[in-house]
Structure 1
Amino acid sequence: MDLEALSKHFFVRALETEDVDIIYDLCSKNKLFYEFHQPFVTRESILDDRNALPPGKSKEDKAYIGLFDGDTLVAVMDLILGYPTEEIVWIGFFMMDTAYQNQGIGTQIIQEAVEAMRNAGYREIRLGVDYGNPQSFTFWSKNKF
């Protein structure tokens, strides 16, 4: 899948090990998320998540991406393509910089990403999110997931 197609408004690229500090900076500001989703983020947990794969999938099936506004990391998204079946994309994680929240930007990012996934031939998008987290539940419900 062409990662750049996931957003019309932000630069999209794969996040690498060298990006752990900017990912940590973004995630660690989201204290409400981690109030309901323990443990609190660490650099090690980011690297673990970046490398985690479900059974039967390879690193070629994973897109751990960042969406950037210039040099600013706006959002992190973890996608597993073709999981659990080939026509499905699994969104394991989505988090935005707190400075960009409550402006409709997250909704825009998700809508554009879903459109790109459908254009790439995927027929279903599933979430691996914690619905016990009121912040996550509100966001995903608002976006009709």
Structure 2
Amino acid sequence: MAVPSVFTAFDTDGDDKMSASELQRCMEATLGEGVSEEEAVAVLAAVDADGDGLPNQGEFSRLVAGAEGEDDANVKRRCLRDAFGMYASSPTEDTITPASLRRTLSRLGLHELGVEECRAMICRFDLDGDGKLSFDKFRVMMMA
């Protein structure tokens, strides 16, 4: 079984495009708060380079990496930190474990992924072999 990317986890219908409804569902599942359809459309339009209204994986990566701006590095780091927090095992434990990854992906609708698949996803970027992703490892994964 192929290990899904972050984009694949958000692209619930598998069309290789990010729709406003997919973004809304993911925001609700991971942040616990929803955004309106208008807000989701506006966010996606900001990164939609080809103008079709549905960002592809490359365009979506720009959204995850953060907005262009005067302090781009800090914006990217803050966005990545927020994304990392969605997957972290707990507010006090600053790592992503196979169980916490499975729990978050399950909330996103990927119920078929087991702990072993999540362990394999983590293993790809677990540079020190501790079985967890720290924020630094997560940052490397997201920028890959």
Give yes or no for TM over 0.5: no
Rg: which structure is higher? 2
Structure (1/2) with the larger helix percentage: 2
TM-score (norm 2): 0.31
Structure (1/2) with the larger strand percentage: 1
TM-score (norm 1): 0.31
